[in-house]
Each structure stands twice: as C-alpha cells, then as structure tokens.
Structure 1
C-alpha cells in the first residue's frame, strides 16, 4: 500500500481506522438494522480510504512540489502540436529546446514533448501518435525509464492535462511505477506558491497501480458492439459529417469528451464526481469497456481518471487516426452506421 502516514495519506489512515472500528461495532451489534447501517457506513469509509490512496498514488498536489524538488525527476510535457523549436536530425527535443533558449516553467524540470518523447514512429498501420517501441526510444524517454528517482510530470496549462496524462500512461506502460502527475499543471503550482509561500508534506507511492492495457482496432470495434467504448474527443469530431466523410466514430462508441474531467480551476475533478462521470457513460460494471480518442492523448486522461476510481480501462492507443487508415473498417456518423469505404476520411476528425 502507499505510505500514507503524512499529508493527505494521514487522512486515509484515519479513515481506515474508523472503518475498522465501524466493522467491529457492526459485528458486535445484536440489532439487525443497526448492524446493516454500521456495516454500510464501514464500506463507505473503506471506499473513501481506497479513493484517497489511489489519488495519492496518481496525482501530486501543487503545494507538494517545492518540498519534493531534488528528490524527484520533474518533467514538463509539451503538447504534441507545439512547434516553437525545430528538432534537427540526431537531436533530442530537450537539446533543441535548449538551443532555442527555451526554459522550463518550474526551475529544474526537464523538457519533453508528446510527439518526440512519448510517441513512436508513424507507419501506414498506426495512428499519428503510436506507442514508442523498444530500441527507438528518445534519449529523454530512455533516461526517464531508467531513472532512480520518482517522476512527476506536468503540463504547461491546466486544460492540457491530457498531455501530462499521456506521459504518465506511456511511462506506466513501459514499467515505471513511481510516476505521478501534477494536478492542475503549472498554473496550479504557481497559484499554490503565491498563496501559501511554502509547500506541504507529501505522500510517497510504494505499491504500483495496474499496468495500462493497450488494445487493437479489432478489439475496440468488438467492445463497441458488446460493451462500452468511450470516445474522448469533442462532440463535433465524434458526430462527424456523413456528406463529406469527415470525422465520425467507431460503431457503438459513446461520446465522452475528456475535457469534462477537468474542473474550472484546471485540476482533475474530485473522485466522487469522476465516478459519477463514468457511471453516466455506463463505464462501471462487469461488462467489457475501453477508451480511445484521436491519437491517444485525450483518452490517456480518461485512463488516468479511471485509475483514480479503481477502474481498469484498456485504451485503443492508435485511436481514430489509426482506425481510419483501413478503409474497410466500419464508421458511424452521428447515429447512422456508415462504411469507411464510402468516402475518403480526413484526419480533421482526429482531434487528439
């Protein structure tokens, strides 16, 4: 279990102790109604403690960062669309950024880029941000995989938390256990620093969460037919345009924009609200489920949110940009099934 003896973890310890007391009281009670009520409250307390442990294992509070500097590998993640420095052949993104005079927003953080560091080589069978393959990792990714320090990744903007979630997902998939995301990104850190002037104690992760599972296009198509397939893109990209054959979605998918998971302050929603979100989209239960988006960035945030509520959710990482490369795959526009062979699909429906 995570070490929750300080900071937020101390709250979880107290909740667990309360849960044990309630269970003992419920078992001793001779009144059936009271016993049921006490046991119900104990289960609620236990779930609350589990939620807190999962959140501490996945996210870092902005007020913790200053206290962690020097003890962690702090990583700034740039959006895959960002192109304000040119990466030359044989040069890493970090080297290109340094040559361009680009510095990190939080002093001491290393600079990374979703496309250059957390995606592999594009082929005719992949999406536009495919899974990095062993042997072709960027120098920055290779260094992070072998880092002896816990890793904290953050986005430059709260609305761009999907980019940090993508880094989290790839590192978790490649075997890194001690990696967390700065909740709210740099703006939340700046606000916390200005407000308090000092950091708070942190909680450390000692037990890893389950590894993310990556599925194929055929598996995603099957889940769309028999289970719940979440499409994390904006509604316009999901619905598409049947007349121009742009956009659309995998048949049976449910539109579940990842942007709804981020609160007004740029931080991830509280766990109880995340659970309600998954329930609304029929993504909690024993049936098969998965998520995808345009290129495996927005859906990475969905997977991270799923981890916070204890939900193991596979991802179709190649997503829509990979799916439409096979013109024989069925496509649905709005609520009307169509075929990808009935028109040339444009990548404008990919979002990210």
Structure 2
C-alpha cells in the first residue's frame, strides 16, 4: 500500500482517523491554522509537544516519550487496527514527521494526505472549525518499530553508504545557520534538499522521478542510505520520499542539532 493517499481517496473513505499536524518552524502556532479550518473530524496534534520530546542533548526535536505518544493515540481513538491519515497545511513536512513517530511507536497503517489541506480543498473537500471530542482509546505503545540512527550510526552511513542531508544548500554548506549554534554538515553527507521532493502544489513527485533524483545522488538502494536534517523533521519527509522511490532509509532523529552537542564530532562546510 502506498504511504500516500489522495484527497479524492480520502473523501471517499470511511472509518479513518484523521490527524492535522500543521506546524510552522518560525510561527505562528499550527493550532491557529487548525482552529481556522481543518478536515472535518480531524484531531490536531502538536509537533513540539506530542511528536517530539523537550529539546536538549538529543537535539531540538528528539523522539517523544512512549507515554506522551500513548496519550496522543488514546485521545484520538487510534488502536492497532486503525487506518490513520495525517496531513498539514504546507508540503507534508510535519505530516511526514507525524507518520514517522506513529509508526515508530507501533501504528502500522499511517498514510500522508498528498498535497495536504490545499489538495483537500482543491478536490472540493469542506473544512470545519469544530473540534472533535477526545476519544477513550486503549492503545499500548511499542517503541522501536522503525530503525533509527544515533550519531555514530549516521557517521558510519556517511562513510560507507549515502547519508542524505535534507536541509537547504546554504545551511548544508555552512553559509547560514538560522537555528543551530554551529553551521555546516556531517562530513561525507550528500545534500538533497527535501523541497526537491515535491512539486509546486506540495504534492510528492511521481515515484519514478524521485527514484531518478535519488539515484543521481547514489541513493539507489545498492548501498546503505539514511537521512538527517536540522532536527529530525524534514529528515522524516526525506525518508518518506525515499520510501515512495522504493529505497529504505532510516532517520538520524537527533540530526544536526544533536550532532553539534559534542564538540569532538567533526564539522564540514562547503557545497561539495
């Protein structure tokens, strides 16, 4: 089954749990956009507090605790048999993070609405300001359902395979760094800005185009592939694009914001 669902498919489906993961790195809070209008019946999930743990030694967006995710799943009524759809109001960066976290904690059937809220509206979908009542689910989380990397694992992939850096070229090169205290990238990493995975309308490129894009970077599945970014959000989007292309790629969750917490770890700059 595709990790994506179209707006038309969502409109025709029944019995799905829909989550709105709208989030803005620089603000305003995603909750404001959700309150203004969302897919009817969708529950809001907060990336900073429900899809990530507190920032610190593990980076700006480490994995949340099992108890936090369990509470999220129970209030939205998700159980082991649920079919879940996640979306956001941009180009699926936050939605991909939501899918990644839910699957890591044991929810198997999670798909991303391709094109997000804009695609929903374009397909004739209505929006609602009504907030659904909390459910009373009984899901018990099981962390570790997806492979993830730590700093040591990311460094190994960078030297033996293809470690894709999903950030913008200028951040990869160390020319600018708006979020973290140190600029640059993990030595050996290859820049593959995740914005290149989607078209202007926010929908993912077709699988064959994504496959071609990643193959040109050496990420054709013939050697180990992994993804990282600034804090583990856009890396999940990169991993989703790779999955669409048929390439398995674990995420270095701590990403650059964790890498630089150890001054002994090397830092590279430049676009090569």
Shared topology, TM-score over 0.5? yes
Name the CA distance, whole Å, in 2 between partners of 1:274 and 1:121: 33
**Is 2:266 aligned against 1:333?**
no
Residue 66 of structure 1 corresponds to 11
Name the CA distance, whole Å, in 1 between partners of 2:157 and 2:99: 24
**Is 2:43 aligned against 1:76?**
no
Residue 151 of structure 1 corresponds to 84
Name the CA distance, whole Å, in 2 between partners of 1:291 and 1:168: 16
Pairwise CA distance, 1:278: 1.2
> For residues 15-34 of structure 1, what are the structure 2 equivalents within 5 Å?
none
User: What is the CA RMSD across the aligned residues, in angstroms?
Assistant: 2.6
Give the structure-1-normalised TM-score: 0.65
Pairwise CA distance, 1:133: 1.9
Which residue of the other structure, out of 41, 58, 62, is the alignment partner of 1:130? 62
Cα distance, 1:192–1:101 mapped onto 2, change above 3 Å? closer
Deviations 1:217-257 (A, max 9, x none): 01111211222110000000000049xx8420000000000
Name the CA distance, whole Å, in 2 between partners of 1:163 and 1:101: 13
Name the CA distance, whole Å, in 2 between partners of 1:294 and 1:153: 22
Q: Does 1 or 2 have the higher relative contact order (CA < 8 Å, sep 6+)?
A: 2
> For residues 1-352 of structure 1, what are the structure 2 equivalents within 5 Å?
53=1, 55=2, 58-69=3-14, 71-81=15-25, 83-84=27-28, 97=31, 102-123=35-56, 125-137=57-69, 139-144=71-76, 146-147=78-79, 148-157=81-90, 159=91, 161-193=92-124, 211-241=145-175, 246-334=182-270
Which runs of at least 4 in structure 1 moved beyond 4 Å after TM superposition? Answer: 82-85
Larger Rg: 1
> How many residue pairs align between the two structures?
249
Pairwise CA distance, 1:310: 2.3
Name the CA distance, whole Å, in 2 between partners of 1:112 and 1:285: 33
Give the structure-2-normalised TM-score: 0.83
